[in-house]
Structure 1
Amino acid sequence: MTMRKRRPFSMLVSTLVPILALSLSISACQDEPQAEQPEEAPIYKTRTLGELSVPVQYSAPATAVSLNTSTLKAEISARIEAIPAQVGDRVATGDVLVKLNCADAKAQQQQARAHVSAARARAELAAQQLQRARSLQKKRSISEEQLSQRQSQDLAAQAELQARQAASLIAANQVKRCRITSPYPAIVSQRMGQVGELASPGTPMLQIVASEGLEISAEIIPTDAPSLEQASEIVFLATQRYPAKLRTLTGVVDSLTRTREARLHFVDKQPLPGTPGRLQWFDRRLGIPSQYLSQRQGQLGVLIAEQGRVAFVALPHAQEGRVAATDLPADTAIITLGRAALAVGDALPADSAADTGADQ
């Protein structure tokens, strides 16, 4: 039986020693501290506000409204003879719109005139008698009591004459009320009276809408109100563009619509009363596109490069998704790229800024 030869112990040791040395060397290398890698400078891009600015446009629902809408009513009791005005007619100041039967009113006017003539005759007689009484009193031919009586009669006659003249004036006005006329240039919008009907004081005849001096009524969001007051251009958009000018902005916020009413004049031409449309205006200030807005501590604003560091400028009236107006100078450097990685106060190395071309 052949015996297997045993390896010498020295050969085993010579094999293990290099392995152990290699393991210790690797372990020592892992335990050595690694050199710190330098932080990469932030990559950012800026553009001046003047380069990226866009027009700041606002709009609101609006309507062309008439300053006067009147319901014309009868002022006397009379039968309706004719209604020359029809719905849709344009009428001028003083045009006759309704004719009422005037026979009774004219008769009362004639009666009043007769009463005036009689009162005038009595007043003249009383004046003559007073003059004669004064002459006789100088001659001591009548007493003081008789003179006083003539004076009293003269005063009563004069008072009666004035009363009759007032009644005659009322009668003349009643005759004028037989014709209902337009108080201003207007459009007839509704007819209520009918020919042949008996009208009494207060009976509605026609409704008219003023065709001149129209205004624009617009409902403005309170945050947009300052921009309207400073607007460089305002137009009313309907079937065409109508230039407008702000007259007033009410100081009351409607509790239901949560808006403020603006009233504006038409500068030149104007649409028909009641025309619906939209009010459009442009802010005088520069506008920052919504994609460049950032939010910090619950406020919307823009990140800018100022003296080599990041600064945040809050825009109190800015809204997400809308162009924001600002009073910043046109040369303000707006950070347009890399905003998410920047914090307010971060240093901005000049060699880390990208060129000022289009944003990626």
Structure 2
Amino acid sequence: MKTPACSLARLSARPCRSFAALFGLLLAASPLAGADDALPTWRVAPRPVAVGVAAEAVVEAVTQATVAAQVAGRVVEVRVDAGQAVQRGQVLMRIDAREAAEAAQAAASRLAVARTEYERSGRLRAQNFISQAALDRVRAEFDSAQAEAAQSGVGLGHATVTAPIPGLVARRHAELGEMASPGRPLLSLYDPAGLRVVAAVPQQRLAEVRAARAAVVEFPELGRRVEAPSFVVLPGADAATHVSQVRVNLPAGEGVAPGMAARVTFVAGDAERLAVPAAALVRRGELTAVYVVDPAHSAPVLRRVRVGETFADGSTAGGLVEILAGLVVGERIALDPAQATIRRRSVR
């Protein structure tokens, strides 16, 4: 091979030959050399898998709370942000309570007027100058003013927003300077010490779930799987979708957060299935295929396969996928489709 570096007249023949030899060694050692023994492969054979009911799920906190404003006013102080740990009773926000104070003062004034009117009407009724119905109307107005004053006083005390539970701030719904109104969410909190996943299971498979001996939870984003300590099937079902919710408790310290996707397998027993790692599959639209590594061919051959269930497996990222058609026992497939694609192109 004539290299550009050796085309220069100033280079001697010996350095040129040395460079060419080194280039040849690097090419032979690279994945482009066509040696299939360097390509990681998987032997197709029946594998022991845990069979049962699989369902998609989402992580949620057992203890969570949305802190809402109970008084109208502008947010004048924000002390926490998303991801920050807080303790029960810790101050999170402060709301300018001047409007609430004015409302409380107005309510107190109305209460004073209503009390005076009620006392006067009581004296008039004692002298039979007004009817009992008239006194009842005044009494109702007094009770209403009293309740309004009490409520405004309570709202005034909620100008300082505190954490109702210990945990982490999941989300901040209000920013400094924004207006808060009664009922508007300000912060969302959750306790990371207690997490679970909630799975939706079709009604016709609930009996299998109840009889399951264990529940295995897989987190595709993390490439991890854990065995759940317990699970419970919630009573009732959705009238539109005919699915029921199953709560699966997670062990502590798994490093997951509410909202993450998960996959739960309710294990009924063990069986052998012809299965390959999910990472070995090539998916292009509706086509699912694998690269078959055959010594009779100089390059991996892309072959279409028909797949079935996905089984949780701790040794392979993404689990094992059942092969229903397209492969036979004893064949070898490439574990890395990207590397197999490079190998295939290099020998064309």
The two structures have a TM-score, normalised by structure 1, of 0.47
Greater share of strand = 2
Which structure has the bigger radius of gyration?
1
